[in-house]
Chains A and B, each alone.
Chain A
Amino acid sequence: MRVEIGEDMNARTSAKYRKEKKVGEGTYANVYQGVEVATGRLVALKKIKVGDFKSGLDMSAIREVKALRELHHPNVIQLIDVFSHKTNLNLVLEFLDTDLEMVIKDTDLIFKPDDIKSWMLMTLRGLYHCHRSWVLHRDLKPNNLLIASDGQLKLADFGLARDYGDATANMTSQVVTRWYRAPELLFGAKKYGYAVDMWAVGCIFAELMLRTPYLPGDSDMDQLNTMFRALGTPTDEDWPNHTQLPDYVQFKQYPRTPLTTLFTATTPDSIDLMEKMLVYNPIKRITALEALNHPYFQNLPRPTAPKKLPKPALNINEGQVAEKRRLDPGKSI
């Protein structure tokens, strides 16, 4: 590798793509649908706003470029190119038609257990690749799991992603959209790891079965309350020393109800996996690799082939929705 003269590369790269129409707007970027001129392939152009002279380039943009430059996996969105045009930075990403939230919300679609298994498998494969590369996603939710036209699910929106593994580094607990936020984060833990992403995957798993968010809290406090009502208030035995966490508050002692009372129509192996993802003690929570090796994925039914998964009727205007939904009140932090 040599140190490239970026200026020349920018001009060359920028000419490779044609911007077509705006498809979404997020906190730090506008998303456009575009075309790679030479091949006609659809791409998403994420144009990062740099008008804000207060803090320079947004941290999310740096995190996203940094994470996606390292990660290459069929279940992680591909960063095709990066270039700047005038004073804007542009990320060129794969264009993906829809996301898991749209799929869940589409009441015309019926999910079979095989479909859910397939989405879980792809999510965990993508996530295992991130964790193996020492990257935490920190914002997993159905809305950030994009789905390609061939049915492949891809982890997207790495604006909160960061590397982990340094036991001494403090990290912010203000991450992950509330409904998918792990209990240790809600209690203000500054040191955490892969387990925060696994909790979110557990919530997504439950949401796929229920077709509605599993733990929809209205506020951070209510989130904990909702969680404890559903899963029981943790005792010191379940989760040693959690009362020492910075933002610990005592809650009413709810009893633990077995998941089978809510998830009546499902198999014991899926309940077992979900329970292992929703373990309060982060150290005991299942890892992505362990989850992939869980009997749930070996037992029948076999996961549906991605191509055959249920999909909403394609409406191109709804494509690449990840960004615009972030603005919905009460859903993002």
Chain B
Amino acid sequence: MAASTQTAQQVQELADDKYKYGFVTDIESETAPKGLNEDTVRFISAKKNEPEWLLAWRLKAFRHWLTMAEPTWAKVGFPEIDYQDSYYYSAPKGSDDGPKSLEDIDPELLATYEKLGIPLREQEFLAGVAVDAVFDSVSVATTFKSKLEEVGVIFCPISEALEKCPDLVKKYLGTVVPYTDNKHATLNSAVFTDGSFVYIPPGVRCPMELSTYFRINAKNTGQFERTLIIADKESYVSYLEGCTAPMRDENQLHAAVVELVALDDAEIKYSTVQNWYPGDENGKGGIYNFVTKRGACRGRNSKISWTQVETGSAITWKYPSCILQGDNSVGEFYSIAITNNCQQADTGTKMIHLGRNTTSKIISKGISAGRANQTYRGLVRMSPKAEGARNFTQCDSLLIGNECGAHTVPYIESKNKTAIVEHEATTSTISEDQMFYLRQRGIPPEAAVALVVNGFCREVLQQLPMEFAVEAQKLVGISLEGSVG
């Protein structure tokens, strides 16, 4: 009793103080009318009190968007999206909407939380039960926030950054992913509602992993999230995005944009665990995850490393890429994509080598089960000036069952004779011998599959920060449940 009183008190204190921590945006309860037009864009910008230049940029994006066609080259299929049938700005749900308690939540979802070992309080948050604050996360964020301020790291919602450091936002926003990039990114540029902003000053090694997980109102910005991370000279940051727990969301279309900029001798490590609702066994429902992520290694000796564990969403369309501009810069892409039931994923990376002696490494592990289909699609481009550039690519696919598919589509363009590009690819299955061996040692079939798959993904799992790695391993097993008879 005493403990819970204390908890309630602390939560209240944090809730009162929340603006100070910068993790909650002040949004009035209002919703833009359904549909998308210039007024919608103006409404969003006005709501967020944005500077003139940003509204102008959004409008340019919107007008361009009207002229664009959906990208159709990916190996995914879905009915045409009716953009006029969505809301593009809605205030956070009050306690009157949504489920009242965990009793109203799909028991299957709760069972998954249980398996992942997620505390009750966080389960409520993730399931969309109205709670004031996620106790653990907020208290952690509080302590961390002061540590970050000490070293001059800026970590806040992008809308807040527009007030705090507008020049930085203006200088970098849209410079890695231009508003004309592709239909999904352009839509995001026009209507993005929020996202994270990170700036690491020169010479600073960010003292902790930065995580969106700490942001308690993240669920309302999930649909068109925009993230901008700048690592100034000789700085380092590791950023974690997402959550292993399946997130409930009413919005089917997610079109996020992430831009990273690394200056001289800077390093950015960006890790994602994506577990949005994949739809049911027959492919009904589920999120369309159309994400544009790109990092620019602008400085000499800079490094950008993407690590992703993609297990959710009905459709994943995602190619975290690196533009290796600075001499000796390094790009890395480590990926695990798991598709089960009717999920579709077309994912990979682009490594664009512009500078001399730039190097890139791609390790992609695709696991397909059920009737799922997935494609690795990757581009390695060696430009004429990329003297001595190198790439190594390894693409491994694992098939579980005989109704799923795995496809590898590597594009290699080399315009420099001194550049070296290596590509290795394998396709394998979980053999009957492996299953019998593991079961003979007492390991039940689903755990056996999880073990083999975790082994298959080991190189990528090792890249994840500790706090993600353990959960991600469990997630790998859970994602494949029901894939063996």
Task: Note whether A and B form a binding pair.
Answer: no
A residues lining the B interface (CB < 8 Å): none
